[in-house]
């Protein structure tokens, strides 16, 4: 084996994630850039390049406007920063809901151009066939049930799911269909604890909760939310830092130093060794 092969990174794989069902909780976070991926990598089993990138980084009102090219660009960046976590990339709205063959072409492009190991799809009622088609052709797929952000225009808003019996039955059926079709893990978003526990008990794939209680096999949050980069966050987010305040304070101090000519000082200045200036 060449030295280069020996040095190759050993990343957590899809079967290893599946094998964690019912074991120690899976720790997952979103990442969109190389430096953030490098910081998160030692602590997480999965880094998700979520299509939330559209809202978090690009200022879009929802995820519908995110494109395949955006996901690939951010996926490449995250792969440069992450060394051991499994990197999963969201398939954006419009890239997988049509014929499975098109979904495969788009998913294959994502894996080839980023080197990431898997894709995630929002698993509505008709998606099981596509998940099976992708998995059978070598694309590991993570499902996503419950609150499906890409369905915002049908739902009218980002709303928790499973409040009625009909909705509970539908979300459970979607999770079971995604797992039966071969999804190696399933994100469960915005559902009550009882439904999260029911889904977790019903499927062999580990469930990864976001706003879905401690009844899941793992947890994921949007990193920027838990770091306190936004003024408003959903109720299910716990803030572990106040980076918005930190950044605002740091920039305020720097701006004051520039205005008062305290920055740059000698320590931040290059001096020439030419005799005339010595």
Is residue 41 a contact residue for ligand KIV (CB under 6 A)?
no
Per-residue H/E/C for 13-63: CHHHHHCCCCCCCEEEEECCCHHHHHHHHHHCCEEEECCCHHHHCCCCCCC
Is residue 68 a contact residue for ligand KIV (CB under 6 A)?
no
Stretch that binds ligand KIV, among 47-55, 126-134, 162-170, 237-245 (CB under 6 A): 47-55
- Cβ burial, residue 258 (10 Å; 0-12/13-18/19+): exposed
CB of 178 within 8 A of CB of 128?
A: yes
Residue 137 main-chain phi, psi, to 5 deg:
-105, 15
**CB nearer to ligand KIV: pick between 50 and 162:** 50
Is residue 45 a contact residue for ligand KIV (CB under 6 A)?
no
Is residue 198 a contact residue for ligand KIV (CB under 6 A)?
no
Residue in 184, 236, 187 with CA at minimum distance from that of residue 207: 187
> Can you spell out the DSSP letters for 74-103?
HHHHHHHH-SSSEEEEEPPTTSSSS-HHHH
CB of 17 within 8 A of CB of 86?
A: yes
Stretch that binds ligand KIV, among 44-52, 80-88, 99-107, 232-240 (CB under 6 A): 44-52
Is residue 87 a contact residue for ligand KIV (CB under 6 A)?
no
> CA–CA separation, 10 vs 92, rounded Å?
27
Which residue among 189, 193, 198, 246 is the active-site one? 189
Is residue 229 a contact residue for ligand KIV (CB under 6 A)?
no
Q: Could you give the 3-state DSSP secondary structure of residue 73?
A: helix
- Least separation in angstroms between residue 233's CB and ligand KIV is 12
Is residue 52 a contact residue for ligand KIV (CB under 6 A)?
yes
Stretch that binds ligand KIV, among 18-26, 45-53, 242-250, 266-274 (CB under 6 A): 45-53
**CB nearer to ligand KIV: pick between 50 and 140:** 50
Per-residue contact string for residues 97-136; x = within reach of ligand KIV by CB under 6 A: ----------------------------------------
- Cβ burial, residue 244 (10 Å; 0-12/13-18/19+): middle
Q: How many CA atoms lie within 13 A of 244 on its CB side?
A: 13
Active site residue 16: no
Stretch that binds ligand KIV, among 49-57, 197-205, 240-248, 251-259 (CB under 6 A): 49-57
**CB nearer to ligand KIV: pick between 50 and 81:** 50
Give the residue numbers marked as catalytic.
189
Residues of this chain that bind ligand KIV (CB under 6 A): 30, 48, 50-52, 90, 144, 187, 210, 220, 222
């Amino acid at each position: 084996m060449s030295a280069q092969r020996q040095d190759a990174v050993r990343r957590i794989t899809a079967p290893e994630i599946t094998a964690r069902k019912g074991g120690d909780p899976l720790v997952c976070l979103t990442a969109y850039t190389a430096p953030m991926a490098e910081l998160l990598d030692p602590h997480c089993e999965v880094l998700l390049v979520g299509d939330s990138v559209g809202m978090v980084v690009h200022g879009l009102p929802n995820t519908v406007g995110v494109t395949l090219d955006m996901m690939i660009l951010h996926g490449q960046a995250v792969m440069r920063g992450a060394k051991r976590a499994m990197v999963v990339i969201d398939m954006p709205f419009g890239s997988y809901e049509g014929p499975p063959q098109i979904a495969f072409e788009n998913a294959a492009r994502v894996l080839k151009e980023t080197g990431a190991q898997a894709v995630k799809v929002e698993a509505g009622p008709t998606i099981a066939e596509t998940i099976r088609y992708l998995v059978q052709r070598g694309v590991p797929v993570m499902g996503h049930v419950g609150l499906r952000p890409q369905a915002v225009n049908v739902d009218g808003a980002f709303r928790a799911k499973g409040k009625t019996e009909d909705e509970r039955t539908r979300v459970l059926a979607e999770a079971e269909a995604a797992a039966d079709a071969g999804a190696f893990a399933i994100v469960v978003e915005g559902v009550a604890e009882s439904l999260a526990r029911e889904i977790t008990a019903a499927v062999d794939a580990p469930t990864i909760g976001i706003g879905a209680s401690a009844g899941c096999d793992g947890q994921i949050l949007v990193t920027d939310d838990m770091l306190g980069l936004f003024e408003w966050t959903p109720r299910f987010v716990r803030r572990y830092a106040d980076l918005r305040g930190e950044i605002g304070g740091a920039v305020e101090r720097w701006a004051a130093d520039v205005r008062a000519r305290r920055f740059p000082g000698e320590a931040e200045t290059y001096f020439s060794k030419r005799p005339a200036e010595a």
